[in-house]
A and B are shown apart, each in its own frame.
Chain A
Amino acid sequence: MGGLSLIGAGLAVIGAGLGIGRIGGSAMEAIARQPEAYGKIQTAMIIAAALIEGATLFAVALAIVVK
């Protein structure tokens, strides 16, 4: 059972990696197009990344607690 929950945690982290990667990539493109909006884009990027991270951490914490 422990192994299965760890696989679940891994899957959650893969999802977060893809999600945060896309946010980062899009933010880079946006900054390249509009360098003057750097601050605003960065703020929005960090908020979005933090929200995804929150969902992932739920999954990982659950996977560690539920053995």
Chain B
Amino acid sequence: MKVKISFLILLFSFLAYAEDKEQFNAGEVIMEHISDAYEWHIVSIGDHHIALPLPVILWDEGKLVCFLSSKFEHGKKFYLSYKIAEEGEHKGKIVKINDKGEIIGVPLNFSITKNTLALFLGVSLLLIILLSVARFYKKEGQHAPPKGLAAFIEPIILFVVEDIAKSNIGEKDYKRFAPYLLTLFFFILINNLMGLIPFFPFGANLTGNIAVTMTLALLTLIIVNINGNKTYWKHIFAPPGVPWLIWPILVPVEIIGIFTKPFALMIRLFANITAGHIIILSLISLIFIFNKLWMAPISVGFALFMSLIEVLVAFLQAYIFTMLTALFIGLAIPEEHH
């Protein structure tokens, strides 16, 4: 009960942000929460915003420009002729303006944004957990009965290696790909889970960022096609058992197929995680749309229910991404004789 209540308080504090005296615009608030930002907004009390300023790093015409995003004062002001565009083609990006306030250029942007910081946090947490487990096995020997954190992580690693890698790639080659698959699984899992925790320094929509999922999908594309053997390429450029007259139709389809598989991986992870965040935020937004007290327990109850489903989705999406990657690798290295 105590845990439940504190969870509700956290949910409320997270969304006190959405409290607005004027007309409440649910779509705007939700988009703000799921998109990347130059500062990490923590809470707003009245008109006072508490946010963690993040470094802005720009490469503008051969010059490196660094400053803290607090100089923008939550996107309202400009600094050194840079500002965050409020509308138009470059909305949400940092642009260079002239004296009249017209946009004259877009500098290369290497800023540590909210998602980048969340990425660093997730990866350091992962390193701490997995390196401590690795240290345990180094000290106690590979076949020691696992204790503590190792006892928690070992079944997951065994699951990925045995059930995902071995059963999809095959006895002979699975060990080569196990490190990549394990990295993929734990990276997606920890970032999915961290995205679900609704308070600072968690709750960034990292795996629901299409650039992040695209990077993961690109890695899969490269690894699958670098390791593709003769049989794999033969099935693409000269499908056996098919009359050669049909090749002009089949070969382009197969070539497109190389790219649609990782593309589907990218869209799947992005859409699932973003949709999950949008659903939870919409349910919470109901309170402010109805603007009645009795709505609060209903919407928080539904949001809690959705959060629990999202925990399942977090595991499922990590599993599916890893599993499909293993499957594609397995399809790219078929046995020579068949």
Contact = CB atoms under 8 A, between A and B. Distances in A.
Interface of A: 39, 43, 46-47, 50-51, 53-55, 57-58, 60-61
29 contacts: A39-B163, A43-B163, A43-B167, A43-B323, A46-B319, A46-B320, A46-B323, A47-B323, A47-B324, A47-B327, A50-B268, A50-B320, A50-B324, A51-B264, A53-B268, A54-B264, A54-B267, A54-B268, A55-B264, A57-B264, A57-B267, A57-B268, A57-B271, A57-B272, A58-B264, A58-B267, A60-B271, A61-B267, A61-B271
A60 to B, nearest CB: 7
A60 B268 CA distance: 11
Contacts of B320: 46, 50
A51 to B, nearest CB: 8
A27 to B, nearest CB: 15
B226 to A, nearest CB: 23
Interface string B125-163: 000000000000000000000000000000000000001
Nearest to A46: B320
A60 B274 CA distance: 13
Contacts of A39: 163
Q: How large is the interface on B (under 10, 10 to 19, 20 to 34, 35 or more residues)?
A: 10 to 19
Interface of B: 163, 167, 264, 267-268, 271-272, 319-320, 323-324, 327
A43 B320 CA distance: 10
A55 B260 CA distance: 10
Of A53, A54, A55, A58, which is in contact with the most chain B CB atoms at under 10 Å from its CB? Answer: A54
A58 B260 CA distance: 11
Interface pairs A-B: 10 shortest CB-CB: A54-B264, A57-B271, A50-B320, A57-B267, A54-B268, A57-B268, A61-B267, A61-B271, A58-B267, A50-B324
A46 B268 CA distance: 13
Contacts of A54: 264, 267-268
Given A58-B264, A61-B271, 5 more contacts: A43-B163, A46-B319, A47-B324, A54-B267, A57-B268
Of A43, A47, A57, A60, which is in contact with the most chain B CB atoms at under 10 Å from its CB? Answer: A57
A54 B267 CA distance: 7
A39 B327 CA distance: 16
Nearest to B319: A46
Contacts of B324: 47, 50
A28 B152 CA distance: 30
Nearest to B264: A54
Nearest to B271: A57
A32 B323 CA distance: 25
B65 to A, nearest CB: 33
A60 B324 CA distance: 21
Nearest to A55: B264
Contacts of A61: 267, 271
B89 to A, nearest CB: 15
Contacts of A46: 319-320, 323
A46 B320 CA distance: 8
